[in-house]
A and B are shown apart, each in its own frame.
Chain A
Amino acid sequence: MRSFYEVCAVLRRRNAKQYALLAGCCFFSVLLITAYVCMMRSPTVLSVLPEGGDSRKQVMMIFVLAVIGCAVFTTYAAGLFLRQRSRELGIFMALGASRAQVRGVLQRELAGVSVISCVLGAALGMPLAWALWSLFRTFLVDTQEMALRFDYRAYILSAIFSLFVILTTLSLGARSVRRTNIIDIVHEQHRSEPVREVPRRWGAIGIVLVLVGVFLGYMSSNFFILVLHWYPPEGLSAVFYAPALVGLYMLLLHTVVNGWGGRRRKYRDLISTSMMKFQGRQTVRNMLVITVLVAGAYFGSFYIPMIGTGAMMRYDAREYDYLYFHRADQDIPGEDEVRALAREYGVEITSFAEASTALLAVDGTHTVEVDGPMGVTWYPEYIEVFTAERFLSESDFNALTGQALDVPAGQAAAVLDSDGSTGYGFDTGISIVTNYLTGERLDVTPYQGAALRYQSLAQHYVLDDADFELITRGLTDEWREHKVVFNVENDEQTYDFAKALFNEIVDRSGPEVEVYDSWDPVIRDRNLAEDGYYFLDRESLEEAGEVTIDYTQRDSSNFRLSWKYMPQFRVLDKADFVKTTAVYLMLFVFVAIVCFSAVMVIAYTRCMTIALTNRQVYEDLRRLGAPGKYLYRSVRGQVKRVFFVPIFTGTLIIYVFYLMIMYFNGSPAGITGDEAAGLLASIGVIAGVSALLYGIYRLTLGKVCSSLSVKRRT
């Protein structure tokens, strides 16, 4: 061995583990980010997440979280690597190696490790995304729209991230040998960043700040919009979440430095607490990242159980197994045809009813947006002809429901969901009903009797028969709808029949009703008059590059969830729910997987780092005669803190956040039945994930123990 190069090669072989860890972290983070980006930018996924919609924002938000998480942990991995190597480099320099010589060697190694692992990670990212996706398709759901297509431009983002990883690694490397104090470089490995004393009250203050921040953050945009009539610029409400982050930092700092045990346990935990303290800042930052990632992952994971349970409960709450409705000018199957089809499929129809509804305009409050010096503000403007709503006469209502409702003349009875919630944008207090064609107008007051709850007819209004007759006079078929309801024997076994009937209805629908459910003829006329276009018209949508309602895509989630005349067949909806929401399901599950893997890797590497840097301490303690049980308890104390504190905090925060959302959404404020069920289902998800994380904790604990040669006890 005669050259410096050979010396480095020998050392590289001896330190293979350190290189492997760095390479592994770079590889893993680029792999995850690439897979995520491929998924997120895939046309398949994009077509499901509406532009500017909440779900796309959420996906974006969680992506940002994942990027931050991955960036932080590769930075730490690089830092750890350089720390481990600093002694060697310092000794080289002390023995007269020039800085350029040392830097050259280091940079070549870092570049080699990071470039290779990033390229590998980026190359395998897309296959990983594809493999995960296929796994879902095999085991969960498979629909035509789920064939995953990739947009190769996704690799631009992946390349940017890889570049970031490589450049950070290199610049950290350059920084580590730049210092003039060679003795400091030599001793870098043993240097720690102790955190200073933290007052004990920080724990409590932290908790309060977290709660305040979460509440303020969530409420701020409501406050701006509803109270100040001002649309805040994007991202402003994020500022209001800031106290939560500060609180979280204080909370974790308190946990790391003081612990929650109180003074009684001061000496028992002295060693593990003081070790944590000396790892202080990095550990706290790691824990912060874990907390945020856990919160993000759960935020994604709850989406499906929340929506799913709610939807299932609403399906069950329907009074009829089958309900379909259509504009009266459409040629859709009548009773004879339905019965014939039922016979063909061996389905027995037990009851059958039909009714007609009318589309009438109602009054309401319109928000007028104005562009001012402050950005967009709004003011409410009451208009007498606001939107079109569905109306029933009391006898038709009674025919469908079997009730004996009598609405007094001059009153309009609003039908609520079976659990009493009104649903989005449904006004129970209308006062003017207008026939849009004739201009005939009827003044009404809200129905004085008990509130009407009927799931299958929710968001309809019921009028007195005479009133109905008078006000709907002169309406054309375009303004009338036909509603058919029936029950069958053994509803659960009639899927094929339901599917056939659904196809029949879609096949016979004309292009004029190929529209979104929020397409409203009254709003359309107003928009056309004011702006010259209506955003829900087919041409406008196509022009804006948005997804349209399309009969050929009748099994897509978009169609199933948003077609204006989508039949409500319980068996079909239930069976297809998972399918129609499959893309959401996949995406959020995928996000959760990414976040939780990042959490596991970060927690694992952090624990191993603590073990590495404290090996000497444990050696000394053993020599001082510390019993094995004591050593084990101290090791477990540290691993536990790294795992449990952030995971517990993150879980709790996001659960409280969800509770709050559920409480404040919809009117009146409160938790409805299906929200409660969703929240319960989310607890199930938490239990499952927690079990998995507990497994990882046990695994890490085992690894740490064996690396410190501490015997594991039960």
Chain B
Amino acid sequence: MLKVENLHKSYQVGKNTYEVLKGVSLNVEQGEFVAVMGPSGSGKTTLLNCISCYIPADSGSIRLGGTELARLGEDELAEVRNRKLGFVFQDFLLLDGLTVEQNILLPAIIGGSVSADVENRASQLCEVFGIAAIKGKYPAEISGGEKQRTAVARALINNPLVILADEPTGNLDSKSSRAVIGTFEQAKSGLGSTIFMVTHDSFAASFCDRVIILRDGVVWRTLEKRDAERTAFQDALLASISEMGRQ
């Protein structure tokens, strides 16, 4: 479904060039729930931004369902973002001028298809994430966790095939985290969505089928859950992370 090959990305700051992604390759199957972990600054957000073509990559290839994204025209790319991708940003990127509900509906509005069905779905998502009571509030008036849940609901409104989530549970208590993970699992089982989630949280990651660990701009290790228990998988994750810390 999602195939990244030998991706390179560097940032230019003044005269200095910082290479952040140094040849990342990975493969995510349709309907797979994958987590990306790695130390802060290892390039996780950069990777997600490159995958959705928000920032241009220096080299390498990104294929989504067989199409090379770099080859798409602007309008086609916009269409892909709107219909097929759901993106949860690390810093939420909610519009300050719109209410929580309006923010959630925004991708549907941009796509030009706001039916009663979509509105129902928005209400449903609000219920699931426990933000129904604050639907009419503006982003400036809600908490960080509420913003995060709003951002997740917005990513899900168009029933995307691929969800790219940058730390969707970073600000949440365990109950809210479970709700987010739960909806991702639902999207996976109900719609066959593919989920690609960046997280620092081994608890959230332990729900995934596979965890990719990034370090110094390359894939350091991939852990597969297979048929392991969730807690056992979490322990394996923690062991890997502490191993990485020791090196």
Instruction: List residues of A whose CB falls within 8 A of some B CB.
Output: 1-4, 6-7, 10-11, 14-15, 87-88, 91-101, 180-184, 186
**Option from A11, A180, A186 in Cβ contact (under 8 Å) with B93:** A186
Give the CA-CA distance A11 to B95 in the complex, in Å.
Answer: 9
CB of A11 within 8 A of CB of B97, answer yes
CB of B56 within 8 A of CB of A181, answer yes
CB of A96 within 8 A of CB of B111, answer yes
Closest to B56 in A: A180
CB of A183 within 8 A of CB of B81, answer no
- CB of B42 within 8 Å of the partner chain: no
Give the CA-CA distance A346 to B97 in the complex, in Å.
Answer: 80
Minimum Cβ distance to chain B for residue A6 (Å):
8
Given contacts A7-B98, A96-B111, 19 further A-B contacts (CB under 8 A): A1-B109, A4-B109, A4-B110, A10-B98, A10-B102, A87-B93, A88-B95, A91-B93, A92-B110, A94-B81, A95-B81, A96-B80, A97-B82, A98-B75, A98-B78, A98-B79, A100-B74, A183-B49, A183-B55
Q: What B residues does A1 contact at CB under 8 A?
A: 102, 105, 109
**Option from A14, A99, A183, A184 in Cβ contact (under 8 Å) with B97:** A14
CB of A182 within 8 A of CB of B54, answer yes
**Option from B52, B109, B154 in Cβ contact (under 8 Å) with A7:** B109
Minimum Cβ distance to chain A for residue B16 (Å):
14
CB of B114 within 8 A of CB of A100, answer no
Chain B, range 87-130, C-beta contacts under 8 Å to A: 87, 89, 93-98, 102, 105-107, 109-112, 114
Q: Report whether over half of chain A's contact residues are helix, strand or loop; otherwise say mixed.
A: helix
The 4 A-B pairs with the shortest beta carbon distances in the complex, nearest first, are A96-B82, A14-B97, A96-B81, A98-B78
CB of B95 within 8 A of CB of A2, answer no
Closest to A99 in B: B74
CB of A7 within 8 A of CB of B74, answer no
Q: What A residues does B154 contact at CB under 8 A?
A: 95
CB of A7 within 8 A of CB of B102, answer yes
Q: What are 5 contact pairs spanning A and B, CB under 8 A?
A: A88-B95, A94-B54, A95-B110, A96-B81, A183-B55
Instruction: List residues of B whose CB falls within 8 A of some A CB.
Output: 49, 52, 54-56, 74-75, 78-83, 85, 87, 89, 93-98, 102, 105-107, 109-112, 114, 154
Closest to A182 in B: B54
Q: What A residues does B78 contact at CB under 8 A?
A: 93, 96-99, 101
Minimum Cβ distance to chain B for residue A35 (Å):
36
Minimum Cβ distance to chain B for residue A469 (Å):
88
Closest to A91 in B: B93
Give the CA-CA distance A180 to B52 in the complex, in Å.
Answer: 12
Q: What B residues does A10 contact at CB under 8 A?
A: 97-98, 102
Closest to A180 in B: B56
Minimum Cβ distance to chain A for residue B200 (Å):
21
Closest to B79 in A: A96
Closest to B111 in A: A96
Minimum Cβ distance to chain B for residue A305 (Å):
50
**Option from A2, A94, A99 in Cβ contact (under 8 Å) with B109:** A2
CB of A96 within 8 A of CB of B110, answer yes
Q: What B residues does A87 contact at CB under 8 A?
A: 93
Give the CA-CA distance A7 to B103 in the complex, in Å.
Answer: 10
Give the CA-CA distance A94 to B103 in the complex, in Å.
Answer: 13
In the complex with contacts A7-B98, A15-B97, A180-B56, A96-B85 CB distance below 8 A: yes
Q: What B residues does A182 contact at CB under 8 A?
A: 54-55
Closest to B14 in A: A196
Listed residue (B80, B83, B93, B112) with the most chain A CB atoms within 10 angstroms of its CB: B93
Listed residue (A10, A88, A95, A97) with the most chain B CB atoms within 10 angstroms of its CB: A95
Q: What A residues does B105 contact at CB under 8 A?
A: 1
Give the CA-CA distance A10 to B56 in the complex, in Å.
Answer: 32
Minimum Cβ distance to chain B for residue A523 (Å):
67
Minimum Cβ distance to chain B for residue A202 (Å):
20
CB of A95 within 8 A of CB of B55, answer no
Give the CA-CA distance A91 to B95 in the complex, in Å.
Answer: 8
Q: What B residues does A88 contact at CB under 8 A?
A: 95, 97
CB of B112 within 8 A of CB of A94, answer no
Q: What B residues does A2 contact at CB under 8 A?
A: 109, 114
Give the CA-CA distance A97 to B80 in the complex, in Å.
Answer: 10
Minimum Cβ distance to chain B for residue A435 (Å):
82
Minimum Cβ distance to chain A for residue B176 (Å):
23
CB of B97 within 8 A of CB of A95, answer no
Minimum Cβ distance to chain B for residue A180 (Å):
5
Closest to B87 in A: A94
CB of B109 within 8 A of CB of A101, answer no
Give the CA-CA distance A1 to B83 in the complex, in Å.
Answer: 20
CB of A95 within 8 A of CB of B106, answer yes
Closest to A88 in B: B95
CB of B102 within 8 A of CB of A95, answer no
Give the CA-CA distance A637 to B184 in the complex, in Å.
Answer: 52
Closest to A3 in B: B109
In the complex with contacts A95-B106, A95-B107, A100-B75, A4-B98 CB distance below 8 A: no
Closest to A1 in B: B102
Closest to A13 in B: B97
CB of A96 within 8 A of CB of B83, answer yes
Minimum Cβ distance to chain A for residue B124 (Å):
18
Give the CA-CA distance A2 to B116 in the complex, in Å.
Answer: 10
Give the CA-CA distance A1 to B103 in the complex, in Å.
Answer: 11
Closest to A93 in B: B78
CB of B75 within 8 A of CB of A94, answer no
Q: What A residues does B89 contact at CB under 8 A?
A: 94
CB of A97 within 8 A of CB of B97, answer no
Give the CA-CA distance A2 to B102 in the complex, in Å.
Answer: 9
Give the CA-CA distance A480 to B198 in the complex, in Å.
Answer: 104
CB of B107 within 8 A of CB of A4, answer no
In the complex with contacts A91-B95, A97-B78, A7-B54 CB distance below 8 A: no
Q: What B residues does A15 contact at CB under 8 A?
A: 97
Q: What A residues does B112 contact at CB under 8 A?
A: 3-4
Closest to B83 in A: A96
Give the CA-CA distance A78 to B87 in the complex, in Å.
Answer: 31
Q: What A residues does B49 contact at CB under 8 A?
A: 183
Closest to A185 in B: B54
Give the CA-CA distance A61 to B114 in the complex, in Å.
Answer: 58
Minimum Cβ distance to chain A for residue B65 (Å):
16
Give the CA-CA distance A183 to B52 in the complex, in Å.
Answer: 11
Q: What B residues does A100 contact at CB under 8 A?
A: 74-75
Q: What A residues does B93 contact at CB under 8 A?
A: 87, 91, 94, 186
Give the CA-CA distance A696 to B7 in the complex, in Å.
Answer: 55
Closest to B84 in A: A96
Give the CA-CA distance A119 to B154 in the complex, in Å.
Answer: 42
Give the CA-CA distance A285 to B154 in the complex, in Å.
Answer: 42
Minimum Cβ distance to chain A for residue B223 (Å):
29
CB of A95 within 8 A of CB of B82, answer yes
In the complex with contacts A2-B114, A3-B109, A98-B102 CB distance below 8 A: no
